[in-house]
């Protein structure tokens, strides 16, 4: 699996539709300070469902939408699409190419798509779990990230290893099942009480 392409429109400093293609080799993006290099990494995190404004270096989610310049009016929505080559099947879906799209309007409402089919954020999270690419993946190492990992609480640091070991998916499913089990147990208690009352 590797990142093949990113298309950005209306996201942060990218007012016009911008397409960047990557090969399997190393690609370096260079440019003067403030030219938008980090905005590209932000776009990748955002399309994969990043909900933390702080992590996207903003104050509010609307800050990811192009806010205009002296020469250019602001735009109404932001859209990012990233395409992965999935010939090795690392992403658990039956497609050799996987495109994830997120669109967000000024109202704050976000739409998500996998290969142009509308989906929930949860579907994207699940698809990329344990691939290292998701929201909590280790494939985006931003400025200060290494320091953050080293100074983290041991439990948080363990999360990085769990993602690399590929067990996050199972841990999440286990937690979901435990929550459902607890709900069912509570319902059972209620039913027993009701039965007791009517008998």
Task: Mark the binding-site residues for ATP, compressed into ranges.
Answer: 32-39
The verdict on 55 binding ligand ATP (CB under 6 A) reads no
Q: What is the CA radius of gyration of the chain?
A: 21
**C-alpha to C-alpha distance for 62 and 183, rounded to whole angstroms:** 36
Candidate residues 37, 120, 145, 179; the one interacting with ligand ATP per rule CB under 6 A: 37
| 106 binds ligand ATP, rule: CB under 6 A | no
Kindly state whether residue 199 participates in binding ligand ATP, applying the rule CB under 6 A.
Answer: no
Residue 154 in the binding site for ligand ATP (CB under 6 A) = no
Binding pattern for the stretch 61-90 against ligand ATP, x by CB under 6 A and - elsewhere: --x-xxx-----------------------
Structure tokens at 64: 């990811």
Provide, rounded to whole angstroms, the least separation between the CB of residue 41 and ligand ATP. 8
- Residue 120, helix vs strand vs coil: coil
**Among 166, 134, 116, which residue's Cα sits nearest to residue 48?**
134
For residue 154, how many other CB atoms are within 10 A of its CB?
A: 6
Residue whose pair of structure tokens reads 């996050």 in the numeric block: 168
Residues of this chain that interact with ligand ATP (CB under 6 A) are 12-13, 31, 33-39, 63, 65-67
């Amino acid at each position: 699996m590797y990142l093949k392409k990113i298309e950005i429109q209306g996201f942060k400093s990218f007012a016009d539709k911008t397409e960047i293609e990557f090969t399997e080799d190393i690609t370096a993006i260079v440019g003067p300070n403030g030219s938008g290099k980090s905005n590209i990494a932000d776009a990748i995190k955002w399309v994969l469902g990043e909900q933390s404004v702080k992590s996207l270096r903003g104050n509010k989610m609307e800050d990811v939408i192009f806010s205009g310049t002296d020469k250019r009016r602001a735009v109404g929505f932001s859209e990012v699409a990233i395409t992965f080559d999935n010939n090795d099947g690392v992403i658990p879906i039956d497609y050799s190419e996987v495109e994830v799209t997120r669109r967000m309007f000024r109202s704050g409402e976000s739409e998500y798509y996998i290969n142009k089919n509308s989906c929930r954020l949860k579907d994207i999270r699940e698809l990329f779990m344990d691939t290292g690419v998701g929201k909590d993946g280790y494939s985006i190492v931003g400025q200060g990230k290494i320091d953050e990992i080293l100074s983290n609480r041991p439990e948080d640091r363990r999360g990085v290893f769990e993602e690399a070991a590929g067990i996050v998916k199972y841990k999440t499913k286990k937690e979901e099942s435990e929550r459902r089990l607890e709900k069912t147990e509570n319902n059972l208690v209620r039913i027993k009480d009701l039965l007791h009352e009517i008998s």
